[in-house]
Structure 1
Amino acid sequence: MQKSVILGTLTAAALSAGAASAQTLSDVQDRGTLNCGVTTGLVGFAAPDADGEWSGFDVAVCRAVAAAVLEDQNAIEFVPTTGKTRFTALASGEIDMLARNTTWTFSRDVDLKFEFTGINYYDGQGFMIPKSLGVSSARELAGATVCIQTGTTTELNLADYFRRNNMDYEPVPIETNAEAQQQYLAGACDVYTTDASGLAATRAAFETPSDHVILPEIISKEPLGPLVRHGDNDWGDVVRWTLNALIAAEEYGITSANIDELKAGTESPEINRILGTEGNLGEMLGLDAEWAYRAIKANGNYGEIFAKNIGESTPIGLSRGLNAQWTDGGLLYAPPFR
């Protein structure tokens, strides 16, 4: 009952905010700053350094949008949100977009009145345990205490998985990833469960990552991506096609190193349309012709962003897997720019 009340409240707030702020693009341009909701801190995806400078895979999406809309990837205010507060922040208008490892689900799309603008990471829920437990499969976790972030899809996935396998468990509710790390390392729970990418990022921050094992089971589909409020299609188009520009840029070989050369004109009509030397795609979005050029130049194409923040050469060490381009056997695919 309590969950239904919360969902109903969020739905009402989303409807109200959607009706009141159907001009987010002009609001952002008038303000001169993009308010982007991110996680409270997950290394590789969104985390501030000692000087308060934010970086990460999700942060790069925010910066690309700021570059496209405001001609400055730094004209941005990062708003840290938890699993519980993220949707309220978006529904109320506190933030213009949310880029916070958030799973696209039916209820979030339809009932909470949000619009997911694409998928920037195909993920799935996993389990991390101390190697000393000697467990090699999630099927061996009967009776375990499990740290789990509240307000996330992982709560329901966890309950479903243990129920299907006739196992009991004791949940240890936590609010943030930082709290999860502390509780898990202190032994307050045997297991930490969240998206597999989040587990890899969390483990990379440990003093001795090799003392912890991510079990092989992936128990859910977790398509992660940025989202905006329902009712503002123009703004949704801007965020959607900025993400698509990053994905398409990798497919067509547009990089941060060669983008200025390609902007002078190429024999590829698709590249020319993306970079604004042909057609009027920017005008259709309510932006100038160089919106996608700036979005890509800010931090590179999708592949560059992936490699720099979470790729195999980073401490997080994620392979492309499902997040490879469709031409390389992955699921990554941008609609045509035409």
Structure 2
Amino acid sequence: MQTIPVRIGTRGSPLALAQAHEVRDRLSAAWGEAAPAFEIVVIKTSGDRILDRPLSEVGGKGLFTKEIEEALIAGDIDLAVHSSKDMPTLLPDGLVLEHFLPREDVRDVLISTRHASLASLPAGAVVGTASLRRQAMVKRLRPDLDVVTYRGNVQSRLRKLDAGEVDATLLALAGLNRLGLSHVATEILPEETFPPAVGQGAIGIETRAGDARIDSLVSAIHDEATAVCLRAERAMLAALDGSCRTPIAGHAKVAQGLLTLYGLILTPDGRIHHDGTVSGRPEDAAALGSGLGERLRLAGGPAFFTQHPAEG
């Protein structure tokens, strides 16, 4: 009987903990009496500590994973649980992101205490979001709104909204669902007009390459349909050299044996955009994603982002 628990690394926000607990609970259910003991190990990341500046100014989305990955490499934890949309396309040597839970709803929501929808916000209303993608898409749809950087975990953003710091904010429906807070959503934004971030709604499990014991353990809860979609989306992102300074949206779906990937790039002010769709066999997911990313990169041209620097 194993006495040393399997250590699950995670950030300490309520949403991150909910995701880690979901992984633990699914593993316990899948393995039943054969399940090992589990320990949730909370690791504070640079992204959790730096709250006064946009991520694009201080290192990008890797700030939410760096310390967790260091603990994984050092052997202080056995696996790491992440929001897949927070994961850089390049991982540290020796680590892999190959296991995913079934994907949640990918859509974004608008939350406002005074207005019913994005369309009904009055000119000059202040919308707060930390995401350059959301900022760019709000500006694309409503250039008359004032979009500001707005960081913190879900609960702190809701508290600041209630305090009147902004007129509205945007969050992922998946996170609200996992926290039991879907009722706070004022408007669910259609995916067709407000496409999600790459990886949105998918919980990813990062492990050490070649760790057969942990791979065998987490394979029991792995959802291959989600993994196929993430391969396509992340390959597209890699081809675009996507980072927190690059407003990019992307979403893959598999239906009737066909994978379809949609991708969108925008300037941070939302004024210029290029998008595209590609379809093919699920087993070609990575190649399809790379091809679409290259197509979008060429459509934008080499100066697409450098001429329109991100403003956070």
Length-normalised TM-score, structure 1: 0.46
Structure holding more strand per residue: 2
Q: Could you say which structure has the higher helix fraction?
A: 1
- State the structure with more CA Rg: 1
